[in-house]
């Protein structure tokens, strides 16, 4: 029963990831695609967590935090590129 | 119009320490659990990249006043000299040693392995190479 619930939730998260992939491909503007990619990252966190429950191991718990941090940094880099056109400024004079 | 990224800078001030602490944890966990010098070094450079994104190149140079090429060289030197320990003890190159009972001041009795020093070299090389690449790409105007 527990195994069945875990597999069902894995299926639901996979379906939601596929719908996010549809938004990445179809999305009219670039911010749509960035938000969809960020949400795909969070879905990957969920998939990794459920999979580590299914496989009955704690070896993937580092990966969860790692994906979270990488999705955060990647989304910030992309949104800064969209807003300023440059990712790393040389000299910031407003602080 | 000036862009005021107060939220990003405030969040970065908190998150950078968490990422750095996590990288140190990954580095020291490498012997028994997943982790090690490579992932730890990548996460440390990820923390510095987050600082670079929230602030700018000049501020980060002020925070970390090191040339990251020297960090790479220091890491290579540490890894090489860890290998030389084996030669000086009449064993093959890169022979590692293991001391089971070492008394450290605060931690107490612990076990030390010279493979951790080799891993420290890998850590420094990864941080140095990644930060050199990102700073070099970021600064051409």
ipTM for the predicted complex comes to 0.85
Is residue A15's pLDDT more than 50? yes
Q: Predicted confidence band at A95 (pLDDT cuts at 50, 70, 90)? A: very low
Ranges A70-74, B88-92, B125-129: which has the least confidence: B88-92
Higher pLDDT among residues B132 and B113, named by residue: B132
Chain A: give the shortest CA distance to residue B93, in Å: 32
Cα(B57)–Cα(B51) distance, integer angstroms: 9
Instruction: Please state the rounded mean pLDDT for residues A6-17.
Output: 96
**Residue in chain B nearest A79 by alpha carbon:** B53
The answer, yes or no, to whether residue B138 has pLDDT greater than 90, is no
Question: What confidence category does residue A7 fall into, taking pLDDT thresholds of 50, 70 and 90?
Answer: very high
Average pLDDT over residues B99-108: 75
The per-residue pLDDT of chain B, averaged, comes to 88
Per-residue pLDDT band at B107 (split at 50, 70, 90): confident
Measured CB to CB, residues of chain A less than 8 Å from chain B are 59, 62-63, 65-66, 69-70, 72-73, 76-77, 80, 83-84, 87-92, 94-95
CA B124 to chain centre: 5
| B contact test, residue of A58, A62, A63, A84 with most B CBs within 10 A | A62
User: Do A61 and A52 form a contact (C-beta atoms < 8 A)?
Assistant: yes
| B40, B30 contact by CB (below 8 A) | yes
- B1, pLDDT greater than 90: no
Higher-pLDDT residue of B6 and A90 is: B6
- Dihedral (CA of B114, B116, B119, B124) sign: negative
> Cβ atoms within 10 A of the Cβ of A93, count?
8
Work out the angle between the directed axes of helices B37-54 and B6-29 (0-180°, nearest 10): 170
Q: What is the pLDDT of residue A93?
A: 58
pLDDT exceeds 90 at position B3: no
Distance (Å, whole) CA A14 – CA A51: 12
């Amino acid at each position: 029963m527990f195994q069945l619930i875990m597999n069902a939730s894995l299926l639901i998260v996979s379906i939601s990831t596929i719908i996010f992939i549809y938004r990445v491909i179809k999305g009219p503007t670039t911010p749509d695609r960035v938000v969809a990619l960020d949400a795909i990252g969070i879905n990957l966190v969920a998939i990794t967590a459920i999979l580590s429950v299914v496989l009955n191991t704690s070896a993937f718990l580092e990966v969860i935090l790692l994906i979270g941090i990488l999705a955060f940094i990647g989304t910030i880099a992309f949104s800064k590129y969209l807003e300023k056109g440059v990712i790393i400024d040389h000299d910031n004079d407003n602080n | 119009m000036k862009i005021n990224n107060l939220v990003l800078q405030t969040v970065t001030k908190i998150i950078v320490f968490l990422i750095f602490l996590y990288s140190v944890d990954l580095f020291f966990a490498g012997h028994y659990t997943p982790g090690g010098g490579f992932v730890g070094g990548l996460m440390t450079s990820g923390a510095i990249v987050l600082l670079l994104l929230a602030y700018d190149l000049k501020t980060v140079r002020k925070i970390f006043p090191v040339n990251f090429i020297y960090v790479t060289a220091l890491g290579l030197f540490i890894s090489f000299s860890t290998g030389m320990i084996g030669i000086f003890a009449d064993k093959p190159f890169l022979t590692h040693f293991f001391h089971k009972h070492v008394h450290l001041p605060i931690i107490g009795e612990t076990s030390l392995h010279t493979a951790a020093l080799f891993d420290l070299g890998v850590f420094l090389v990864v941080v140095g190479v990644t930060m050199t690449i990102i700073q070099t790409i970021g600064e051409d105007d």
